[in-house]
Amino acid sequence: MKILYFKLRAVVVTWLLRLLPRNPPVVFKGANSALTLCEQVAVMGYNKVIVVTDNFLGSSGILDGIKGTLDRLDVAFVVYDGVLPDPAFDQVQEGEAVIRAERCQAIIAVGGGSVLDAAKMMSMLHANPGPLESFDGIQKSKKPGLPLFAIPTTAGTGSEITLAAIITDPISHRKIPIVDSKMIPGYIALDAEIMKGMPPGITAATGMDALTHAVESYLSKASTIATEEHARAAVRLIFKYLLHAYNEGGDIEARDGMALAAFYAGAAFTKTSVGYVHGIAHQLGRVCGTPHGNANAMVLPEVLAAYGDCVHRRLADLAIVAGIGEPTDSAASLAGKFIQAIIQMRKDMALPLLPRDLKAGDIPGIVDEAIAEAGSLYPVPRYMSEAEITTIVNGLRAA
């Protein structure tokens, strides 16, 4: 009975994702495109903005060019650098209070997925005051938010192009997925120059996040010709550039390729949603504090293997795109090689394989929440049993 409910809900979610109105953003790409984006702020007539970021970026020199460009253009600005990893709603409220007090006309978000998600929610909260629960779900806001300009500093989440944000309830610590097409930024800069200082560990984790988005989108029952094209492009770019970006952080070509890969993966999964990898990863973040990209990497190949032969043909497609195996190989063989390539990539980048402090008593709750999330929100290739998810999560405990 529960599976029937999940299937019916997946059909509804799929059609909602396809029918939501979307205004395509203006995208600037290449070195110093972040400064070009700032020039657009002035072109659009905004003379007071808030720059939303985190404490590390706020105290680094990364913002210097952005601040200098705004100064040159006589655009006044205030910086809010209070966003933390896995942002909670109280940070969103705090940032929005600054927007209101300073009478800001637009938001420039500079950071990784946490910063971009928080800025998207600040934009929405400013125009639609209310508690976090009023945003929980799909297309709950009535009014468009404050104009939003996005400058991602990591190549992973694709949050700059998605209609979703994950915000944590500061009391229950539950991660709440919010879906609203009005959150998509109007202007985006994919600036490899900003990304070249990203540490290897973050490069690896965010790159695996982008790969997870692309693969889960390609396997989604809601996939379309357009999303499949974007997902394949993302996989091609990730297998070509991720290890280069990890090993040679200053390689601008690799950084540029990964920025585009994350963007394409985001463009794909924002229309198809994701799957059990994200369902489990979100719970690892909630319970163990595992960074999202690391959590995805911990279970991506394991979930793909658990799906079984229902995904072999699709994974075989991605294997060929990634340059793995031969077209004459069987679908099962190519799928296996693709999964092994992810395992090897995970090893080559020394990604952690076990979350910290995962206790046996945590596992039933993680499994239940992962099943509920994936079943309620994601058009997965097939529904997994409690036993299958338990086996995957049990594998994350140190022996």
> For the ranges 22-26, 177-181, 262-266, 359-363, which has the lowest average pLDDT?
22-26
Residue 397 has pLDDT above 90, yes or no: no
What is the 3-class SS of 286-348, one letter each residue?
A: HHHCCCHHHHHHHHHHHHHHHHHHHHHHHHHHHHHHCCCCCCCCCHHHHHHHHHHHHHHHHHH
> At the fourth CATH level, which superfamily is domain 200-394?
Dehydroquinate synthase-like - alpha domain (1.20.1090.10)
Residue 5 has pLDDT above 80, yes or no: no
Kindly report the average pLDDT of the chain as a whole number. 92
Residue 197 has pLDDT above 90, yes or no: no
Q: How far apart are CA 131 and CA 141, in angstroms?
A: 12
pLDDT band at residue 70 using 50, 70 and 90 as cut-offs? very high
Residue 228 has pLDDT above 80, yes or no: yes
| Domain definitions of the chain by residue range | 23-195, 200-394
Looking at the DSSP bridge assignments, the partners of residue 111 are: 152
Whether residue 147 contacts residue 44, with contact meaning beta carbons closer than 8 Å, is answered with: yes
Residue 14 has pLDDT above 70, yes or no: no
Render pLDDT for 277-304 as a digit per residue (tens, 0 to 9).
Answer: 999 999 999 899 999 999 999 999 999 9
Looking at the DSSP bridge assignments, the partners of residue 54 are: 83
Mean pLDDT of 38-66: 92
By three-state DSSP, how is residue 149 classified? strand
> For the ranges 19-28, 63-72, 108-117, 283-292, which has the lowest average pLDDT?
19-28
Share of the chain above pLDDT 70, in %: 94
Whether residue 22 contacts residue 185, with contact meaning beta carbons closer than 8 Å, is answered with: no
C-alpha distances in angstroms, 340 versus 36, 99, 276, 296, 325?
41, 48, 19, 16, 11
Whether residue 206 contacts residue 246, with contact meaning beta carbons closer than 8 Å, is answered with: no
Count of alpha carbons within 13 angstroms of residue 231, beta-carbon side: 28
Second CATH level (architecture) for the domain 23-195:
3-Layer(aba) Sandwich (3.40)
Q: Tokens 């192009």 — which residue? A: 161
Render pLDDT for 126-161 as a digit per residue (tens, 0 to 9).
Answer: 999 999 889 988 889 999 999 999 999 999 899 999
Amino acid at 292: H
Q: What is the DSSP string of 139-173?
A: S--SS--S-EEEEESSSS--TTT-SEEEEE-TTT-
pLDDT score for 377: 81
